[in-house]
């Protein structure tokens, strides 16, 4: 399973890429707004230049024609741009048009297998089921991801599943177990994935044992 960062923070992206584990980035208007007053196009282009894989950026239009027009413009920003299109009827039509023009679409805000089936049929390169938001309303978000993965695998579809709205490392673990192609995670979750108290205590014990050895030999 590949790891994407769900952020528009340049320093966080730079750190993730430096660690060698970040294969792509996803953004949306909410995430971009957290970076304050920014030049949207300039920021996305900078992210694209840093990241080795796909960078998803989202349209703001709600009608199909507007989505397509925005997407065509955004697609020119960088070779690794992917356009996030919402899972609506208008979005479905836009996805069909854009995929026919070889513009990669991330079919986002997906909450059901039905939406995913239609998004894949329309040619979306990626489907993004939102795990955390489903969990928030008492549904099992990861079960929806599992259903989508199973369907796409059985139909031999080339569409990839991005487990999105990830809230904690356990979500990543479950996404990996059910075969999600990608998990897009907040920076804080990425850091938490590497943390374990036994690792920290083990390192400290190794240091303490080595200090005692050195002291015994008179080398401290």
* pLDDT (tens digit per residue) in 145-189: 999 999 999 999 999 999 999 999 999 999 999 999 999 999 999
Residue 220 pLDDT grade (very low, low, confident, very high; cuts 50, 70, 90):
low
- How confident is the model over 81-85, as a mean pLDDT? 98
Catalytic residues: 84
Q: What is the pLDDT of residues 36-57, one digit of tens each?
A: 888 889 999 999 999 999 999 9
Average pLDDT, the chain: 94
Residue 35 pLDDT grade (very low, low, confident, very high; cuts 50, 70, 90):
confident
Q: What is the pLDDT of residues 116-147, one digit of tens each?
A: 999 999 999 999 999 999 999 999 999 999 99
Please state the pTM of the whole predicted model.
Answer: 0.91
Query: Which residues are paired to 25 by β-bridges?
Result: 5, 55
Domain 2-216 has CATH 3.20.20.70: yes
The domains of the chain are located at: 2-216
User: In whole angstroms, how far apart are CA 166 and each of 34, 70, 154, 176, 200?
Assistant: 18, 27, 25, 12, 25
């Amino acid at each position: 399973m590949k790891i994407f960062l769900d952020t528009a923070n340049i320093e966080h992206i730079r750190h993730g890429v430096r660690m060698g584990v970040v294969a792509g980035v996803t953004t949306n208007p909410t995430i971009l707004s957290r970076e304050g007053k920014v030049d949207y196009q300039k920021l996305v282009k900078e992210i694209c230049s840093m990241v080795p894989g796909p960078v998803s950026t989202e349209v703001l239009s709600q009608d199909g024609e507007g989505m397509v027009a925005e997407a065509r413009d955004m697609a020119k920003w960088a070779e690794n741009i992917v356009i996030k299109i919402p899972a609506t009827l208008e979005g479905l039509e836009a996805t069909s048009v854009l995929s026919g023009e070889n513009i990669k679409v991330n079919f986002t805000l997906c909450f059901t297998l039905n939406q995913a089936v239609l998004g894949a049929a329309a040619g979306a390169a990626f489907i993004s089921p939102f795990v955390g938001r489903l969990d928030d309303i008492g549904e099992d978000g990861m079960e929806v991801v599992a259903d989508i993965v199973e369907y796409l695998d059985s139909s031999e579809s080339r569409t990839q599943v991005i487990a999105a709205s990830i809230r904690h490392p356990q979500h990543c673990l479950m996404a990996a177990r059910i075969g999600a192609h990608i998990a897009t995670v907040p920076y804080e979750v990425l850091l938490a994935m590497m943390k374990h108290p036994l690792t920290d205590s083990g390192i400290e014990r190794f240091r303490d044992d080595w200090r005692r050895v050195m002291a015994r030999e008179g080398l401290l």
